[in-house]
């Protein structure tokens, strides 16, 4: 596994295999949703019968402590921690289906951007926490 992800609140591992697992909620729908761990790869895995329409805004939370992952620095993004080569990074990703924007913030303050819609967000607000 190249990347290990965890909840920023309880530190629970979110990808026990290669898939990041989060609780996803939209309207009356509440499911476990899986995501590809590579920043910039927007492959998502939904339960049978669940569809995601472009433009829908989803809420994401930790499947263990149930803390909301919506970022206080940008309410359009959610944040989780990524551990890579022994170093912790903060990863922010868009809550809106079809909007491809991911940001990887390193402890040194560097921000890597991924996705066609990353430019719609202010990088000054993003920070490693």
Q: Please state, as a whole number, how many other Cβ atoms lie within 10 Å of the Cβ of residue 118.
A: 19
Q: Quick one: how many helices (H) and strands (E) in the chain?
A: 0, 9
Instruction: Return the HEC string of 16-35.
Output: CCCCEEEEEEECCEEEEEEE
Q: What is the pLDDT of residue 123?
A: 63
> Could you give the percent of the chain with pLDDT greater than 90?
70
Please give the Cα distance from 105 to 46 (Å, whole number).
27
Ranges under pLDDT 50 in the chain: 129
Q: What is the pLDDT of residue 106?
A: 85
User: How far does CA 119 lie from the centroid of its chain?
Assistant: 17
CA distances, 33 to each of 28, 30, 98, 112 (Å):
15, 9, 15, 24
**Residues with Cβ < 8 Å from 28, sequence gap 6 or more?**
none
Sign of the CA dihedral 128, 22, 37, 113? negative
């Amino acid at each position: 596994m190249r990347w290990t992800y965890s909840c920023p609140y309880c530190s629970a591992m979110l990808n026990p295999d290669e898939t990041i697992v989060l609780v996803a909620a939209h309207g009356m729908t509440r499911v476990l949703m899986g995501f590809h761990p590579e920043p910039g790869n927007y492959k998502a895995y939904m339960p049978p019968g669940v569809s995601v329409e472009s433009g829908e805004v989803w809420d994401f939370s930790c499947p263990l402590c149930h803390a909301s992952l919506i970022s206080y620095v940008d309410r359009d993004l959610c944040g989780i921690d990524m551990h890579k080569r022994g170093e912790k990074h903060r990863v922010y990703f868009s809550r809106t289906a079809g909007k491809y924007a991911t940001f990887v913030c390193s402890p040194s303050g560097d921000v890597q951007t991924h996705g066609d819609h990353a430019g719609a967000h202010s990088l000054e607000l993003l920070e490693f926490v």
